[in-house]
Structure 1
Amino acid sequence: MGLSQVVGRLIGVREHVVDPGGGGADRVPRPVPALVVGGGIAGMSAAVVLAERGVAVTVLEAAPHLGGRLGAWPEALPDGVQRNEHGFHAFFRQYWNWRSILRRVDPALGFLKPVPGYPILSEQWPTEEFGKLPPAPPANLLALLLRSPSLRL
């Protein structure tokens, strides 16, 4: 018996097994509640997929807003209201699950704009460019280690 099954039995939660290959059941066979902890990309992706399958989802988020690192909130300043954010600026290729969620709104992802690079600025090191790396691991990690002045073994 796995840990999730033990915890589920202790607190009276039933599991619904979903194919990890992304197929899974179209709908759950009976009403099932689920609790998703965290309203960032991963939590909201899980909540959307579960809700699409008929699961009654409750999302718990510690912050007063959803979005995690995507979130933004108004901040009152002396010269007016400013929107603050955590600084998440790009949907990288490896966020395939989030792109799948976004395709529900725009199948072509036309609202996402490719950028030629992703520069990282530092006071201590020269500007680094993460946009021109090979797309697949481990080649991208090796290329980054070979050319980066700030990342050393």
Structure 2
Amino acid sequence: MIEKILHMPLQPYREAAYALRVIQTRGRHTGQPRRTPIAVVQLSGEHYLVAPNRQRQWVKNLLASGECHVHGEERGPSRTLLVEGEEAARVIRTYLSVLDLPFATEAFPFGAGDSLETIVPHTVRTAVFRLEPAEGTGETAFDPAVEV
């Protein structure tokens, strides 16, 4: 799937929709670059990554490093901020309403039609990361020597 996404035309971001991307993180134990295919959700002009739980390897890598590189982003590395509560619930509900992949949507203990009040308590176990431009010139998860 990674190669397919990398070789297809870059999908534009659209409000309340997703665009397929590949993220590159730094392995939390090895420090090696790790690539993951992912749907980036745009909501209220912000970009988000979503996972049904915090046990996924890419999620653990983001929790450890706090940043990633999104293939196709010209702005460089992104800082990843874990969000919970109503912000996360709105993103998850949008994600579930537009993603037509049962294997992905069925991993959540609720559905797109559920209320924010139903989803909010689960956001302490799900993973929703808001992407923001990385600040400073420190070491990043993106290594330009690694072909993304």
TM range (shorter): under 0.3
TM-score (norm: length of structure 1) = 0.24
Please, what TM-score do these two structures have when normalized by structure 2? 0.25
Give 1 or 2: higher strand fraction: 2
Greater relative contact order (CA < 8 Å, ≥ 6 in sequence): 2
Highest CA radius of gyration, 1 or 2?
Answer: 1
